[in-house]
Chain A
Amino acid sequence: MNINLKRLLRRNETVLLIAIIVFSLIIGSRSTEFFTVANLFDILRSSFVQLIFALGVLIVIVSGGIDVSFPIVGIFAGYAAVVIMQKFELNGESLLIPIILAIVIGVLLGGVNAIAIAGFGIPTLIATLGTAGVFRGIMLSFVGASFISDIPIALDAFSTADLIKYESESGFLVRLHVLVIPVAIITILVHLLLTRTIFGRSVYALGGGVEATRRLGISVKRTQTKIYLLVGGLSGLAGILYVSLQRKANPYDLAGSELDVIAAVVLGGASIMGGYGTVFGTVLGVLFINMIKNNLILLGVSSSWQRAAVGVLLVIGITIQAISENRRNKARRASTEAEG
């Protein structure tokens, strides 16, 4: 029991959960607005898109890679879907058409990443930095560079589709968006995919060691291809949902938001060296980042410090991870020396 507790405390998810509780108490003691249902729902609403991106990034990071092209893939897919809807005058009342369009575009762009990474073995950071530039350049020069405010009716209406909506005693409008259900389902699906399927196990194996994976008889290229196609699809979905929630399609959006998402995944305990990471940790990471970002003002800090706050959290997070990793290595070395 004692050992179990120790092991539980060492897990990143536990540390993060404690951090969330501590920060909630600090912010809550400073401001009464924090512990309200409205605030909770706001944090959830701002987390939806990020969480879907983060699930994709988690898969890539677990496999030992890194992807910096996903926000561009997302906004490309979302923006292009809206442009296609308008150009071909597709039925604007259907919610499914733009979503499927965006996912297909996302998968196609993911395919480009897959060719570069699985086909040619280019280091993932360099490949995705390059494709991000290509995608953004192509979108802004050929798909369009102007802001679209009259997005299809269904997408526009979807932004206010609330599951729960009532007025609180203090007069605040409390709203919980419908998206909470599909996002929860996707999260659970990704969790099952990573833990209960051969594909999921090969993703972890790949992160543990490429050569070892190959010798296990798992096709590295095929696994990587599937990973980047899947991430492309998830990014496309996140992109169109972003467009819908914002009620506008702005091709300049999302660029630069990759850091927040990567920060959330890393804070959630995923190891950038690959081979370790959980969906639960990622969910906590996303909630934590959004909780801090949304409530800096309640702490009396101006919102221009948001980015610095993410940076500080990230530096602290990776430092803790690195220290515990170093200690584990030292312990392993000591035990082998004792045996020898």
Chain B
Amino acid sequence: MSNPLQRFTTAGLLADRKVTQLMVFAVLVFTFFSYLSSDIFFTRENFSSMAYQVPEVAILSIAVMLSMLTGGIDLSIVGISNAAALVAAYILTKNMTEEGAITNSWILIACAAGIAMGLICGLLNSVLIAILNVTPILATLATMTLFNGIAIGITNGVSISSLPEQFVRIGTGTFYGIPSPFVVMVVIAIFAGFIINRTGLGLKVFLIGTNRKAAQYSVMGDRRVIALTYLISGFLSSLAGLLIAARVSAASPDFGNSYILLAIVVVVLGGVNPMGGFGTVTGVILATIVLQMVASGFNALRFSQFLYLAAQGGVLVLVMMLNVILDRIRTARSINKSLGA
């Protein structure tokens, strides 16, 4: 049981078997598509467009990962991110001039309101899961319907588009030559990595995911930890929502419905244990990049988007199957070893 914990505090990157596997996998996928489609995939434009798309998925995946580390799951991420984006978009469009000009303070207010929305949604999840003891799957399934339903009800299902220029720059601009969403993602990844590896909260998250009963008996406030997890998940989802809105210059209740499957695929591919207790931010980011390469590669080879959907689901099921098989082999080997000795 102390094994995963030790790995986090002492060992380096390559000591983690799953991250190593992923790195090899990433290089393979990269070479495969670069070879097959050197004129479209292996180009500067493609890599730069990937750098704009990766961050949204990565941030949503980190949100799912946090809840999964405690042994739960957050299915409401996309509902939250759309609600946050809609609130921000509403404030932005109400306060801009005809030409689309807006003061910087209104942009800040809109972003703050969006994040506040995310925190409120996260708080509702926290109350349901940590205080009322509702199973996370069910609670977030319900809130996902609720957030999405409220968003559809308020907007009548119509999207809010043509957001002000300055706001859109957040999602499409560069920061010292690096796409700005990518910078946001790196900051968030470091923040999440810091929380789960270097703080007491992170340690407690892993403890709860490994053994909830033991965590309860150690009287460390397991409910507060779980509540905080879903609050942070709501916060991260709202950031992802703002980034999506800034990139596509619109907000809609229907955006990114496919992101729920994608985020879970990313998290599982990234080596996070869906039962809780194990996972790394590095793994999640790597998995996002791998899947984005597959998506871009499929696109470059002119495969349909539905084939990519099938590939996502297939990867999820196959990775889980592979983990089970490898686990069985490892257990059998260690039993044999101990019998032999």
The binding surface of chain A is classed by DSSP as helix
B74 vs chain A, min Cβ distance (A): 12
On whether the beta carbons of B310 and A307 are closer than 8 Å, the reply is: no
- Set B135, B146, B264: member contacting A315, Cβ < 8 A: B146
B156: min CB distance to chain A, Å: 5
Q: In the complex the two chains form, is B146's CB within 8 Å of A312's CB?
A: yes
Tell me the chain A residues, 301-318 only, with Cβ under 8 Å from chain B: 302, 304-312, 314-315, 318
Q: How far is the CB of B131 from chain A (nearest CB, A)?
A: 9
**Which listed residue, A120, A304, A323, touches B152 by the CB 8 Å rule?**
A304
Which of B141, B146, B315, B325 is A262 in contact with, Cβ under 8 Å? Answer: B141
Report whether B145 and A259 are in contact in the complex, using a CB–CB cutoff of 8 Å: yes
Q: CA A266 – CA B274 in complex, angstroms?
A: 23
- Of B144, B147, B264, B309, chain A has the most CB atoms within 10 Å of the CB of B309
Is there an interface contact between A307 and B145, defined as CB atoms closer than 8 Å? yes
Smallest CB-CB separation from A315: which chain B residue? Answer: B142
Among B73, B314, B315: residue with most chain A CB under 10 A: B314
Contact of A131 among B133, B304, B313 (CB under 8 A): B313
Bits for B78-96, please: 1 = Cβ < 8 Å to A, else 0.
Answer: 0000000000000000000
Q: Bound state CA distance, A123 and B136, in angstroms?
A: 14
The reply to whether B304 and A141 contact each other, CB–CB distance below 8 Å, is yes
**B139: Cβ under 8 A from any A Cβ:** yes
Give the residues from 267 to 281 in chain B that come closer than 8 angstroms, CB to CB, to chain A.
268, 274-275
| Total contacts A-B at CB 8 Å | 148
Q: A125-B137, A137-B306 are in contact. Are A131 and B142 (CB under 8 A)?
A: no
B157 at the interface (CB under 8 A from A): yes
Contact of A126 among B138, B143, B264 (CB under 8 A): B264
A307, B142: Cβ atoms under 8 Å? Answer: no
- Which chain B residues border A306 with CB–CB below 8 Å? 149
Tell me the nearest residue of chain B to A301, going by C-beta.
Answer: B153
Q: Is the CB of A259 within 8 A of B141?
A: yes
Within 8 A of A (CB), among B256-300: 257, 260-261, 264-265, 268, 274-275
Given A125-B137, A126-B320, A130-B316, A315–B149 Cβ distance below 8 Å? no
Q: Which of A132-149 contact B (CB under 8 A)?
A: 132-141, 145
Q: Which residues of A have CB within 8 Å of B325?
A: 120
Q: Whole-angstrom distance between the alpha carbons of A136 and B258 in the complex?
A: 12
Give the size of the chain B interface in residues (CB under 8 angstroms).
48
Query: Residues 244-287 of chain A: 1 if any B CB is under 8 Å from the residue's CB, otherwise 0?
Result: 00000000000010010011001000001100000000000000
Contacts of B157 in A (CB 8 A): 304
Which residue of chain B has the shortest Cβ distance to A116 in the bound complex? B317
Report the separation of the CA atoms of residues A134 and B313 in the bound assembly, to the nearest whole angstrom: 5
Chain B neighbourhood of A122, CB < 8 A: 317, 320-321, 324
With A66-B137, A304-B156, A322-B132 in contact, is A123–B274 under 8 Å at CB? yes
Contacts A126-B320, A266-B138, A304-B157 hold; do A311 and B145 have CB atoms under 8 A apart? Answer: yes
Cα of A145 to Cα of B157 in the assembled complex, Å: 24
Interchain CA distance A256-B75 in the complex, whole Å: 13
CB distance from B328 to the nearest CB of A (A): 10
A326 partner, pick from B132, B139, B149, B265, beta carbons under 8 A: B132
A311 close to B150 (CB less than 8 A): yes
B147 near A133 with CB under 8 A, answer no
The 3 closest A-B pairs by CB, nearest first: A137-B310, A133-B313, A308-B149
